[in-house]
Amino acid sequence: MSLTLHFHPLSSYCWKALIALYENDTTFTPNNVNLGDPDQRAALLGLWPIGKFPVLQDDARGEIVPESTIVIEYLDRHYPGATRFIPDGDPGLKTRLRDRFFDLHFHAHMQMIVGDRIRPADVKDPHGVAEAKRKLRVALDMVERDMADRQWAMGEAFTLADCAAMPPLFYGNKVLPFAETHPIAFAYLRRLQARPSVARVLEEAEPYLHMFPEE
């Protein structure tokens, strides 16, 4: 088997890559990495010294591909399936922009809040958390506006942007519940969760979700 994904089932960015793999039934070997195990951590660092996952290893092509967005673009280019994640031309640019929006202006703020929850009490950052929540509300306002007349992030086709949207929306709803404040965004999250590729990711993550830090 050519492809191996080094990942963890609770990681939001790993979900993003897994959705793309499952969407096209791409054959791969999953390697669940325990960063608390010195040997497993060292093996991951040997592939990608930054030490973050997901990392896609392609033995057939001799490539190591880190970063979830790049993993999906790599799959789209070298292992295409029925779902094409990045269209050609200007629609492709808009899709990449939407991907960046969810990663930089939604995902990052959600992770800041989650990260603060696991900090020791004497180094918590209440001001940073409040600011992150403010920025999340701005992002949610934009999702609420943009999803008013479309099924998926870019319209009728499921794309990279939807792979990027699902993890921060799912976890964002845990740190800043938005079913009542942003019903259109919440309905979009529910459509994402019902998609078979996403449902599979969530099913596999279920045994680990108790590890998510509650407030």
What DSSP designation does 50 have?
A: T
CATH of domain 3-78: 3.40.30.10
Q: What is the mean pLDDT of residues 160-173?
A: 98
Q: What is the pLDDT of residues 145-164, one digit of tens each?
A: 999 999 999 999 999 999 99
Which whole number is the average pLDDT over 11-18?
97
Question: Cβ(167)–Cβ(15) under 8 Å?
Answer: yes
| Section 188-201 average pLDDT | 98
The predicted structure's pLDDT at residue 214 = 79
- Asked whether residue 32 carries a pLDDT value surpassing 90, the answer given is yes
| CATH 1.20.1050.10 correct for 89-211 | yes
Closest of 104, 73, 82 to residue 157, by C-alpha: 82
Q: Where are the domains of the chain?
A: 3-78, 89-211
Average pLDDT of the chain, as a whole number: 96
Instruction: For the chain, give the percent of residues with pLDDT over 90.
Output: 96
The pLDDT of residue 215 is 73
